[in-house]
Amino acid sequence: MNPVLSAAVGSILRWGLAIGAGYLVKAGIWSGSDAETYVAAGAMGLLGLGWSLYAKYRGRIKLLTALELAGATEHEVKAIVAASPAAPAVTTPVNQVPMSPLPPAA
């Protein structure tokens, strides 16, 4: 992710959380030091959640692109994975075609 974009998103999240924390401090629910701690923790949590969602989204795009290139459906891939006891190594280099240790079922 672009470092400027990630810094901007982090600032926006902290700003939004600080507004909510300010309300809670004003209402007497939190103290000022509690608010600082919770805002920092909340911002980190939301950034982590956002990054996870982004990674899942990008992974899904890669899967669908690979299926398009292979001319296969996701249902077909799930059936092959369920029927095969072996799978390609997850450590396969990015410039190499993944190969299963066993030939595909006919």
**Is residue 47 a part of any domain in this protein?**
yes
Residue 58 belongs to what domain range? 3-82
Residue ranges, the chain, pLDDT below 70: 1, 102-106
**Is residue 32 a part of any domain in this protein?**
yes
Which pair of structure tokens corresponds to residue 73? 């459906």
Distance of CA 5 to the CA centre of its chain: 16
Q: What is the pTM of this model?
A: 0.56
**Is residue 105 a part of any domain in this protein?**
no
pLDDT in the model for residue 61:
92
pLDDT in the model for residue 88:
83
Which pair of structure tokens corresponds to residue 75? 């249902």
Q: What is the pLDDT of residues 64-88, one digit of tens each?
A: 999 999 899 999 888 888 887 777 8
**Is residue 101 a part of any domain in this protein?**
no
**Is residue 102 a part of any domain in this protein?**
no
If one counts the domains in the chain, the total is: 1
Q: Are 31 and 25 in contact, with CB atoms under 8 Å apart?
A: yes
**Is residue 96 a part of any domain in this protein?**
no
Location of structure tokens 């926006």: 12
Angle CA 54–58–60, to nearest 5? 115
CA distance 23 to 35: 10
Which pair of structure tokens corresponds to residue 51? 């990054």
**Is residue 88 a part of any domain in this protein?**
no
pLDDT in the model for residue 3:
74
Q: Are 22 and 35 in contact, with CB atoms under 8 Å apart?
A: yes
CA distance 60 to 74: 11
Q: Are 43 and 10 in contact, with CB atoms under 8 Å apart?
A: yes
**Is residue 33 a part of any domain in this protein?**
yes
